[in-house]
Amino acid sequence: MYLRTNIGRLRTAGFCFLLVFLFSSCGKQNTVAQSKNENMKDSTTMQDESNPTTKTDEEWKKILPEESYIVTRQKGTERAFTGKYWNSHESGKYYCVCCGAELFTSEEKFDSECGWPSYTAPAVDGNVKEKLDLGYGMVRTEVICSKCGAHLGHVFKDGPKPTGLRYCINSAALDFKKK
């Protein structure tokens, strides 16, 4: 009985370790995999009626830091607990790193303990869009900037009241301005 219990504990611990390893390395693998797709033409060119300018991959690469480019234009993900805003508690507003659209405020930010900045709602109705994401064998709701099409992160239905939503956003997609 003692041996069987300890083997069960080892299996559980091993499984937990495997999950932690997979989730912690998933962002890096995603980033690396996404950066290999740099030759995709027109995949990050976005034209919007309110903002008639378009940018090619090369133009985005010139104006964005590498991590921001991979996250916002190629749908990459930064590693959990590594982004500059995941544990920030300063008052202010969060803007799209690509186009400057106001996305979230510190008033809606909360600590979800997931490793990414989390918000209960966007700052301005219509500045973020939601899109079904079936990538990597999962069913999720992607959050993108309405103005420029930048990938921001995902929204989940496990947030606090009043919305019950958790907008889980990559720090690399955001630019913060203090109040």
Task: For the chain, give every domain's residue range.
Answer: 2-37+48-178
- pLDDT exceeds 50 at position 141: yes
Pick from 76, 170, 178: which is nearest to 117 by CA?
170
Query: Can you tell me the distance from the alpha carbon of 173 to that of 153, in angstroms, rounded to the nearest whole number?
Result: 8
Could you confirm whether 168 is annotated as catalytic? Answer: yes
Quick one: pLDDT at residue 54? Answer: 76
Catalytic residue among 99, 145, 148, 168: 168
Quick one: pLDDT at residue 90? Answer: 96
Q: What is the pLDDT averaged over residues 102-108?
A: 97
Residues 6+ apart with CB under 8 A from 18: none
Q: How many residues does the chain have?
A: 179
What percentage of residues in the chain have a pLDDT greater than 90? 68
- pLDDT exceeds 60 at position 164: yes
The fold for domain 2-37+48-178 equals 2.170.150
Over the stretch 151-163, which tens digit does the pLDDT of each residue have? 999 999 999 999 9
Over the stretch 59-93, which tens digit does the pLDDT of each residue have? 999 999 999 999 999 999 999 999 999 999 999 99
∠ at Cα 110 (106, 116), nearest 5°? Answer: 95
Helix (H, G, I), strand (E, B) or coil at 156: strand
Decide if 169 contacts 95 (C-beta within 8 A).
no
Place of tokens 């219509």: 126
Say how far residue 122 (Cα) sits from the centre of its chain.
14
Number of neighbours of residue 96 by Cβ within 10 angstroms: 24
Q: Which residues pair with 132 in a beta bridge?
A: 141
Strands (E) in 41-101, as ranges, are 92-96
Residues 6+ apart with CB under 8 A from 109: 88, 117, 118, 119
Decide if 64 contacts 55 (C-beta within 8 A).
no
- pTM for the full model? 0.72
Q: Cα(first)–Cα(last) distance of the chain, in Å?
A: 61
